[in-house]
Amino acid sequence: MKHSRAGRRGTAAAAAVLVFVLALVFGALCLRETTPDFASDGLLRVCIDAGHGGDDPGATDPDGVRLEKDDCLAVALAVQAALAETYPQIEVLMTRSDDTFLELAERCALANDFRADLFLSIHRNSAEGSAHGVEVWIPADKPAVDKRLAQDILDGLRGVGISDDRGVKSGTAGNASGNYYVLGNTDMPGCLIELGFMTSAEDNALLDAHRVDYAQAIAGAVAGLLLAD
Ligand SMILES: [Zn+2]
């Protein structure tokens, strides 16, 4: 079919308008996805979850002496202290502040009831063999905010000094389309930090030397995201 010149111009103009509108919608969606309005209720809140605790020691070093639950708690408390010192406008809820066991569902309920803006679960890895380094897990559907939080934390930790950057990973170690329970059952963006391997003497030494620096790096990444305009 032949189009009149005016018809072609009309079609071109309509197409341009459509492209413009689509770009606006897409841009708005991207913006919403990458920079949620964390302070929409006037408050900024972070929930920090120290993994394991009580009767659940988590992983151990090869001698079975050093326990993951203790390292998780020490780092979590250090992140809390770093946030309180540098970013007092951010409210922090700890799922545990001592050697207490909580079910995973209790941890999620605490974060959800607190209406946290961000959720951080702190763990340490373990493996047979010589694996070492830090990795940060996000949900399998890779939400942009979770991804950015995880990458910012990893970048901060790399700046302090880690034995290896194992990257931001999605899903779980055994199931790329699954989620770690605490990430799948909390309502807010979050990540699970595996802060080196309990089974790596190098990672243990780095954590002991840099616990406060690691905590400040994590706090800085959290604040960078929450306080961004
Ligand atoms: Zn763990």
User: Does the pLDDT value for residue 25 go beyond 70?
Assistant: no
pLDDT for residue 4 is more than 90: no
Q: Is the pLDDT of residue 3 over 80?
A: no
Residues in the chain: 229
Give residue-wise pLDDT tens across range 84-103.
999 999 999 999 999 999 99
pLDDT of residue 35: 65
Distance 10 CA to ligand 1 centre (A): 61
Ligand 1 centre and the CA of 57: distance in Å?
9
pLDDT at 150 over 50: yes
Where exactly are the structural domains of the chain? 1-34, 44-226
Convert the chain into a string of H (helix), E (strand) and C (coil).
CCCCHHHHHHHHHHHHHHHHHHHHHHHHHHHHHHCCCCCCCCCEEEEEEECCECCECCCECCCCCCEHHHHHHHHHHHHHHHHHHHCCCEEEEECCCCCCCCCHHHHHHHHHHHCCCEEEEEEEECCCCCCCCEEEEECCCCCHHHHHHHHHHHHHHHHHCCCCEEEEEECCCCCCCCCCHHHHCCCCCEEEEEEEECCCHHHHHHHHHHHHHHHHHHHHHHHHHHCCC
Selecting among 91, 103, 106, 194, the annotated active-site residue is: 194
Is 33 in the active site? no
**What is the distance in A from the centroid of ligand 1 to the CA of 139?**
16
CATH code given to domain 44-226: 3.40.630.40
- Give per-residue pLDDT as tens, 50-80: 999 999 999 999 999 999 999 999 999 999 9
Cα(32) to centroid of ligand 1, in Å? 32
Q: Residue 130 pLDDT > 70, yes or no?
A: yes
> How far does the centroid of ligand 1 lie from the alpha carbon of residue 125, in Å?
6
